[in-house]
Amino acid sequence: MPHGLDEDFRCKRRAVLTLDGVPFDGTHTWSQVYETLCRHLAKLKPAVFAQLPDNPDFISSRGNRYFFRQRDDLRAAADFGRGGFAETNLSANQIRDNSARLRGALGLPRDAFTVFLREDRDAG
């Protein structure tokens, strides 16, 4: 059963994330999914990714940034290339929210991301 980025993923284990029908498999955690997604999107739109550290949409309500140019500024940094780093010490719902923000920043359609959960796969 496909799931969108508007659902609650608390206590859910993902199985596969797709972007425009292309699966991102071989990842075991939400953080790995997010890391893989950031690397892929950074290759698609490098100019947009270069501006993410300065984009106010990627700063939490507490003032924490989700993207930086320096690894030392993050708790758990993932290098997505092109001189940028993403915070990956996030909950499943924070990753969902950031993925939705990335979708908007990159101009991707609302249904570009689809998540298939492990519970659904195992139920069959």
Better-predicted residue by pLDDT, 105 or 123: 105
Domain range holding 88? 2-123
Strands (E), 1-124: 2-3, 14-19, 22-24, 67-68, 77-81, 84-87, 113-117
Q: In what order do the strands lie in the sheet with 113-117?
A: 2-3, 113-117, 14-19, 22-24
DSSP 46: H
Better-predicted residue by pLDDT, 4 or 72: 72
pLDDT tens for 51-97 read 888 899 998 888 888 888 877 766 777 767 666 788 888 888 888 88
The model's pTM: 0.77
Q: What domain count does the chain have? A: 1
